[in-house]
Amino acid sequence: MTGNRIARAILVLFFIGLLATPFVIKRMSPRREGDRSKFEAKTALARYGFYLEEVSQAAGVNFVHQSPKLDPKLDPIMPEVASMGASVSIVDFDRDGWPDIYVTNSAIGSKNALYRNMHDGTFKDVAGELGIADVNRPGTGVSTGAVWGDYDNDGYEDLFLIKWGRPELFHNDHGHGFTRVTEQVGLPPWINANTAIWLDYDGDGLLDLFVGGYYSEDIDLWHLTTTRIMPESFEYAKNGGRKYLFHNLGNGKFEEVSSEVGINSRRWALAAAAADLRGTGHPDLFVANDYGVSELYFNDGKRFHEVGERTGVGFAPKSGMNATFGDILNQGRYAVYVSNISEDGILIQGNNLWMPKEGTTGDAVKYQNLAREFGVELGGWSFGAQFGDLNNDGTLDLYLTNGYISLDRNRSYWYDFSRVAGGNSTIIGDAKNWPPFDGRSLSGYQTKRVWVNDGAGKFLDVAQAVGVTDTYDGRSVALVDLWNRGVLDVVVANQNGPLLIYKNTVTPENEWIEFELEGTISNHSGSNRSAIGAQVTLFWNGQQQVQEVSGGSGFAAENDRRLHFGLGRNPHIERAVIRWPSGKVQTIDKPATNQSHKMKEPA
C-alpha cells in the first residue's frame, strides 16, 4: 500500500516535470540574446565586433515603397495579395568603383529609384534622368524586383526588371542612360514573377536568365476575370506561374528553353539562386517555392535535373521565401538558407538551413536541415536573408528580415488565415472565400534577426544589441561595402516602408579582403564579364572559405558583385584560388589584406 502511494507520488512528480519541461527548454534557449540587450555602440563593438547604424536620411535616401492596388475584386484581402514588390539590388552601373543602389516601387504610377553613390556618404536618385524610374505605368504592371547582369559583355551591367506585368530588359549605355530592349530580345508580354537570376548555365560566356513565376502568367491582376487566382493548397500548390529560362543567343536575343532543358514547374516560386554545389563547374539552381516544397535542379551544362526530393531539400512543404548560399563552416561547401513562416502557437514551419551531409558529395550529395541545431530556425514571417561576414571575424553571419503585414497592432488576421489555409482547394483557391482583412495585422511589427556565427556551428541573434531595431515589413536584403571601407553594410527594402541603409562599423582589429572579378570573353570562349558564377576560395590560417559571384540571391535581391571575406585578427593568407566560369583556375599567392583586389580573367 505504502509502495503504491510512493509510486503514485513519483508519478505525479514525473507528470509535473513533464508539464514544466517546455519552460525549462525555453529558459535554456539562447536564441534571442538580442532581445535581452539594448543597443550601445561601444558594448556591441566589444562584444560582437560590430554595430549597425541606420543612415538612410543622412545619406540622402528617402525612398518609401508603395504596394500595388490590384483589381477591386481583391479589395477584402488586398493587404495579402499585394504584399510583395519591395526589392533592392546593388550595382556599379557607371563603373566608377562605388556601388549604387536600385530599388523598386510597386504602385501603378510610382517610380523606381537608382541611387548613385556620390562617394561622400550620400546618394542621388538618377533613375529618372537615366530612364529606369517610370516603369510602373498603367497597363504594364508593377515592379517586384531587379537583377543586374552584363548580358552583352560590353562591360556595363544591364537591368532586368522583374514584374507582375510586362518584364523589362534595359540595356546600359555605358553608364550614361538605359535603352529599353524588351521586345528586341524576345521577352514574353506578361509574367507575374518575384524572382529572377542571371546565370551562365551552359558555360558559353553569355549570361542567361531564369525567371520564376508566382501567379499564373495568364492573370492580369488589375483586370481579373475570376477570383480563382489563389493557390489550390497551402502546401502542395502547383497552379502558380510557369518558369522561364532565357538562353542568351549572343546576338542581342534570347530563346526560351525551360522545357527543353528540363525545367517544368508551376509551383509558386518566390526566390531562386544559383551556385556550383557539386564542383562540376556548372551552376545548379535552387528555387524556394511558396505553398510547397523547394526545388533543386542539378545542371549538367546542358540540361537541368530536379533532385529536390532525392537530396532532401524537396521533401517537407513549407512557404519558401528566400534562397541564399554560404560556406558557414569554412569547409569549402555551401549551405542553403531558405526562409519560411513561424508564428508562435499557430504555424511553426521553421526556416531551413540545408547543410550537405558528411560523406556525401557530387551527384550523391544529400542535405539535412540543421537550422534548429545552428540556431537560425525561428525568424517570424521570414523573408529576405543574406550570408556575409558582418564583423570580419572570418565566418559568415546571417541577416534576416521579416514581418508580413503590419496594420492594426491589436488585431490579427491569423485566425482567419489559418482556417481558410486548411480548407479544401475549392475554398482556399478562390479569393472571394477569404475573410476580409479589415485592417488587421498578420505577423506584423516583427523584430529582425542578425545572427552572428561563432564558427563552431552556433548562431546567436544580436539584432537588438547591434542596433537593428526596426519593425517594418522587411522583404529584400542586400549586403554591400557601400563606401569601400572593407565592411559589409546592409540595405533593406521594406514593403510599404522606407528603404533602410544600415552603415556598419567593425572593430578595426579584424582584417578583410575583397575581390572584384571581371571575366573576359573572345571568340565564344571565356567568362561573362560580370563574372557571375566565378568562385573564389580563400585559404588562410589553415581554413578555407568559398564564395561565388551571384546574379541574384536572397529574396528579390542582388548583393555587391565584389566578394568580401572577413579574416579575423592577424590573418596569414596562404592563397586565393579563382575558378572562372570558363573553367580557368587562377591562383594568387598571399594576397594583401585590407584591400580590394581587382582581378581580370587571364586570356
Q: Could you list the residues that contact another protein (CB under 8 A)?
A: 4, 7-8, 11-12, 14-15, 18-19, 21-23, 25-26, 232-236, 315-317, 343-350, 369, 371-372, 377-378, 412, 414-416, 418-428, 430, 432-436
Sign (positive/negative) of CA torsion 413, 419, 423, 427?
negative
Measured from the CB atom, is 432 or 485 closer to another protein? 432
* CB of 313 vs another protein, minimal distance in Å: 13
3-class DSSP state for residue 556? coil
Measured from the CB atom, is 432 or 598 closer to another protein? 432
- Using CA atoms, how far apart are residues 53 and 57, in angstroms rounded to an integer? 11
Amino acid at 153: N
* CB of 226 vs another protein, minimal distance in Å: 15
* CB of 342 vs another protein, minimal distance in Å: 8
Residues 6+ apart with CB under 8 A from 563: 514, 515, 517, 536, 547, 548, 549
Measured from the CB atom, is 25 or 456 closer to another protein? 25
Measured from the CB atom, is 292 or 498 closer to another protein? 292
- Using CA atoms, how far apart are residues 190 and 139, in angstroms rounded to an integer? 10
Measured from the CB atom, is 45 or 420 closer to another protein? 420
Measured from the CB atom, is 345 or 359 closer to another protein? 345
* CB of 438 vs another protein, minimal distance in Å: 10
Contact (Cβ atoms closer than 8 angstroms) between residue 267 and residue 245: no
- Using CA atoms, how far apart are residues 527 and 134, in angstroms rounded to an integer? 33
Residues 6+ apart with CB under 8 A from 497: 64, 65, 86, 472, 473
Measured from the CB atom, is 379 or 519 closer to another protein? 379
The neighbour count for residue 38, using CB atoms within 10 Å, is 10
Residues 6+ apart with CB under 8 A from 408: 439, 440, 441
Contact (Cβ atoms closer than 8 angstroms) between residue 251 and residue 270: no
Q: What is the chain's Cα-based Rg? A: 24
* CB of 57 vs another protein, minimal distance in Å: 35
* CB of 599 vs another protein, minimal distance in Å: 41
Measured from the CB atom, is 76 or 131 closer to another protein? 76
Strand partners, 298: 305
* CB of 236 vs another protein, minimal distance in Å: 4
- Using CA atoms, how far apart are residues 178 and 227, in angstroms rounded to an integer? 37
* CB of 61 vs another protein, minimal distance in Å: 36
